[in-house]
Chains A and B, each alone.
Chain A
Amino acid sequence: MTAASPRFRMTTRTRVSSWATIGAAILTAGLAALPAVASRGLIQDLFFIFTMLCLAQYWNLLAGYAGLVSVGQQAFVGLGAYTLFAATILAGIEPLTAALLSGVVAAAMAVPTAFVVFRLRGAYFAIGTWVAAEVYRLVLAQVKELGGGTGTSLTMSVVSSTAGLDWVSMAFGVRTPAARDIVVYWAALALLVITLAGIYWLLRSRFGLALSSLRDSELTASSIGVDAFRLKVFVYILTAAGGGAAGALIFLQSARISPDSAFAVLDWTAYVIFIVVIGGIGTIEGPIVGAVVFYFLQTYLAAFGTWYLMLLGALGIVIMLIAPKGIWGSIADRFDLHLFPTRRRLVVTSTRRTGDDRQRARQSGPPSGQMRR
């Protein structure tokens, strides 16, 4: 694109985003080193935030970019979790390796699922995904080796076979349960970094442009040569893989599975949608804000039981009514702040440019409506 015009080039980068990228790298390094000083409670809380944030990012990619409103993402969390239990208990595979396998299996299962649910559109698609998740739940409830409807627990020998436990408990001088927290925390952090970096890269690529065009108008996008079907299936399979890996890590931590817990629509889809909605759909920053808000709500209000769930619902409705772009969306609009911008802008690269020009280019935004974000 730079070659096409000597005076302009297209970029998504801003000065803020450059700083944000550096900040994110420092934050990641800090988080990776955190177990050396942090308490187990903090490590576990961050694990919760990381895994929920992964799920939220995938749902955001599906709904916010590909326009696929799925309420059946628990299908892949559950499949990933069950793959972990089957691989570790029945086949004796090391849990972290099994978690990778979970991602692969979930992606593989997404192919036949996509074949069915992609025949449906809009609300029917949403219901179709839910039905697919229920089908998986009912099927796994019949598998006696994994406890059927009763469910089963990871045994002591399985959880203590996690890679790196001895090293961590020596290096940090902690007991084995705490070492397990740290290892699983690192795995979740790695999954989160891969997820965020992968999605950011994806959205800034040609592929992301195609996705954005799809989100704004599927008809227009198709008419200018975007292969909508292939794109959607690709995103669906990708999110299934991520959801499966996240599910495996979540259930490695809880060590107990049952069809009801693995395929819980409330835990793995409703809360995730809540995170994306309050944070801001269609942005990378939104789910991050949403996950942190959700964590605090859960920590301080979960003791209120039913009232807590009603409050979450009410909060979701209020945000949708008064700030449909979510918390981050509202902040971003107000201050024109984009930490991870995916919007393409033209920047003047002429030799005659001045500081004023550069600033104008930064503020001018996109050249045309169709190319926003």
Chain B
Amino acid sequence: MTNRISGVSRRGFAKRSIAAGVAAAAAPTWTSTVFAQSSKPIRLGYVSPRTGPLAAFAEADDFVIKGYLETVKGGLKIGNATRPVEVVVKDSQSNPNRAATVAKELIVNDKVDLILVGGTPETTNPVSTQCEIEGVPCISTLAPWQPYFIGRQGNPGDPKTWKPFSYTYHFFWGLEDVIAVYTNMWEQVSTNKSVGGLFPNDGDGNAWGDKVVGFPPVLDKKGYKLTDPGRYRNLTDDFTAQINAFKNAKCEILTGVVLPPDFTTFWNQARQQGFRPKVASVGKALLFPVSVETLGDAGNNLSSEVWWTPNHPFKSSLTGLSAKQVADAYQQSSGKQWTQPIGFAHALFEIATDALKRSADAGKADAIVAAIAATDLDTIVGKVHWGQKDLPPFAQKNIAKTPLVGGQWRRAANGKYDIVITDNKTAPSIPVGGQMQPIA
């Protein structure tokens, strides 16, 4: 699927051709490339899991991309030239092999100038890896930075060998943020501080459960007792072992990073087998209202990290619209409830546009990368600024953090679920909508 936008009028084209001619007269050789470059479109590649188990992450893509192309239909002014913008969209099918293949197609066949990618480490990592070895700039999001950064190192087990990347940049939050958000939420409810951890053997699960960078050391320090029955396999249909371990440890808090179908299985089995924690803060599974709705009444007061809501006090640098206006527009055009990835998909295009405008020599990978690295932009998901001190030194170059808060799903009278922000200690600028309530 290729969306082409031509932002070049005939007169503008003629003007630029003359300008190119003048420029070329001063240059040592007159080549067609000088001429072509002024009108050649800037081509963005976009990879996301449009189909498969991760499809919910890409649900709003068409809305975002359509809106973006509308915004830049007059072309992008880069240096002295205005260049039309094209976006080439590829589907990873939620399959890491496919993600690598389509990234290669974008680079080799579509000759894109910049690749944007989102939707869990299973999508961002293969695409970023291809970009890095091909020397094509890449901006990614929708994956905590640890699985993104550490998961792409040759030997993830040995921190001494970790190296920064040259062409690939990432913005999102990290495990340290989600841990802070969760423990802040838990402190609002009186519990015995016994936590059950549900971590699968995948990119996210290994990072969250890691004894060095994950939950265990921090929980230990804050006086929580973590029961971790080990890494389970995704799409399991029996959680009896985990439920028994949690019951034996009298866990009153549940946490983890679980695929939506797995959480439905776990939560139903837990209730059947009499495991009823007071708080359940779970990543990934509870991002989307549809996955909470499948739990019926049992979904009420489940909590999750919140990266973006229509109540976030940010606005788009592209359109000037507020988070609320963007979410409303999505609900109107799709008839569906807003979801968190909308903001981040939009922000990808904000950052890309901002960087391209600042790249003196667009079309040259190194110029675009330099512009991305220098980004300091207020986007719809907050400030994105690489090279900050809120990260360990090895990750500062390639990672930028966006604010994270915590929220609880509350069921409205019409049966719909809405997320209410219940803790903002980590990002006080984002308003809270209520207090934490224990699960009934």
A positions within 8 Å CB-CB of B: 39-41, 44, 48, 89-90, 138, 141-142, 144-156, 158-159, 175, 177, 180-181, 253-256, 258, 260-261, 264, 266-267, 302-303, 305-306
Contacts and interface: CB of A to CB of B under 8 A. Distances in A.
A145 B97 CA distance: 21
A152 B97 contact: no
Interface of B: 1, 50-52, 91, 93, 95-98, 100-101, 104-105, 108-109, 121-122, 125-126, 129-130, 132-135, 147, 150-158, 163, 166, 200-203, 205-207, 231, 233
Nearest to B55: A305
A149 B205 contact: yes
13 contacts: A144-B156, A148-B206, A149-B202, A151-B151, A153-B129, A153-B154, A154-B129, A254-B100, A254-B101, A255-B100, A256-B96, A260-B122, A302-B93
A89 to B, nearest CB: 4
B93 A154 contact: no
Contacts, number: 124
A146 B157 CA distance: 8
B133 A40 contact: no
A305 B125 contact: no
Contacts of B132: 153, 156
Contacts of A90: 155
A150 B207 contact: yes
Contacts of A150: 121, 147, 150-151, 156, 202-203, 206-207
A177 B206 contact: no
A155 B101 contact: no
A306 B152 contact: no
A159 B150 CA distance: 18
A116 B97 CA distance: 29
A137 to B, nearest CB: 9
Contacts of A305: 50-52, 91, 93
Nearest to B146: A150
Contact of A152 (B52, B101, B134, B152): B152
B133 A264 contact: no
B151 A138 contact: no
Contacts of A175: 135
A156 B202 CA distance: 24
A152 B155 contact: yes
A194 B125 CA distance: 34
Given A156-B133, A254-B101, A256-B126, A149 B201 contact: yes
A306 B51 contact: yes
Contact of A260 (B96, B100, B135, B147): B96
Contacts of A44: 104, 108
Contacts of A41: 105, 108-109
Nearest to B94: A305
B152 A153 contact: yes
A161 B203 CA distance: 27
A148 B151 CA distance: 9
A176 to B, nearest CB: 8
Contacts of B104: 44, 253-254
A74 to B, nearest CB: 11
Given A44-B108, A150-B206, A305-B51, A254 B126 contact: yes
